[in-house]
Copies of this chain bind each other. A is one copy, B any other.
């Protein structure tokens, strides 16, 4: 089934349901797949993503753990090295801080250190981003840390369709994949084919073709970018939106192709700006398409602050339709 065909299938699911379905289908298909994490069994996950799986697959394959993030990822690695395909859940990306040794020193490096003799087909599902006024420990976007770890892959889907296809690809990938969901996307809806389908890791998608300016984004910010593009379309500004979908490896080819066409680039990320993903994306554009740029690459990103609780401040700390429009206008001047 090609992506094109599947998109004609008009069954509508939420982002959360799409992920749930991917897990379910892959567990049914492959006995080596199992899920492990905190409150994923009877509770069904903090954002209900694993709902119903425990009832179907039981304690053996849907494993509630203690609150021990290091052991969750560590055991995932060991199981992955010895024949299983674990999908582990870290409840908030903020708690990935507790597993950076397991992720960066172990999962990412074991294959290389052992001369290619093992593989670590582990998927780490986690969830990030702001929008629910949960404050500084439950609202971060840390993807740029993960982008900086050679040996793993980083996937951040924005739509239900991509969420399912990319999760299936992640689980089937022979490498460790950090798959980051966004808390504000779980209830968003879109068409999702019933059958299995995969989306290649490392392929961006032009979600909206345009000729005046290229906007590169991923995860929830795609929605804000789409709103901004709609508004600008009324003024005759034709925005191209590229959903990166995968941050590592980055689809530099698609990025460069778009910049060569529009000659202007805006990167929109929720991550705090300094050292964020946008820095890397921007530098790739500078390195590969400098001569095509009619304006400096522009970053619209999170403010360099811990996420404030107050709704009044939280909304200012991340990009919005307005700040994206402002950023786009800037590169068009």
Contacts and interface: CB of A to CB of B under 8 A. Distances in A.
A24 B248 CA distance: 44
B145 A145 contact: yes
Interface in A234-284: 248, 250, 271-272, 274-280, 282-283
Nearest to A103: B97
Interface in A276-333: 276-280, 282-283, 286-287, 290, 295-299, 304-306, 308-309
Contact of A97 (B105, B290, B306): B105
A97 B74 CA distance: 13
A136 B150 contact: no
Copies in the complex: 2
A207 interface: no
A150 B274 contact: yes
Nearest to A147: B275
Given A286-B286, A296-B287, A147 B274 contact: yes
Contact of A112 (B150, B248, B271, B306): B306
A151 to B, nearest CB: 6
B151 A113 contact: no
A309 B248 CA distance: 24
A148 interface: yes
A260 B59 CA distance: 63
Contact of A283 (B108, B150, B271, B297): B297
B272 A279 contact: no
A252 B296 CA distance: 16
Contacts of A287: 296-299
B297 A286 contact: yes
A101 interface: yes
A306 B111 CA distance: 10
A306 B109 contact: yes
A43 to B, nearest CB: 23
A144 interface: yes
B297 A150 contact: no
Nearest to A247: B275
Contact of A248 (B137, B144, B274, B305): B274
A104 interface: yes
A38 B19 CA distance: 44
A185 interface: no
4 smallest A-B Cβ distances: which pairs? A148-B275, A290-B296, A97-B101, A279-B279
Interface of A: 94-95, 97-98, 100-101, 103-105, 108-109, 112-113, 135-137, 142, 144-145, 147-148, 150-151, 248, 250, 271-272, 274-280, 282-283, 286-287, 290, 295-299, 304-306, 308-309
24 contacts: A95-B101, A97-B100, A97-B103, A97-B104, A105-B136, A105-B137, A109-B136, A112-B305, A112-B306, A113-B136, A145-B145, A148-B274, A148-B276, A150-B306, A151-B306, A248-B274, A250-B274, A274-B280, A275-B277, A279-B279, A279-B282, A279-B283, A282-B282, A286-B286
Given A109-B136, A151-B305, 8 more contacts: A97-B101, A109-B306, A112-B306, A148-B272, A278-B283, A283-B297, A286-B296, A290-B295
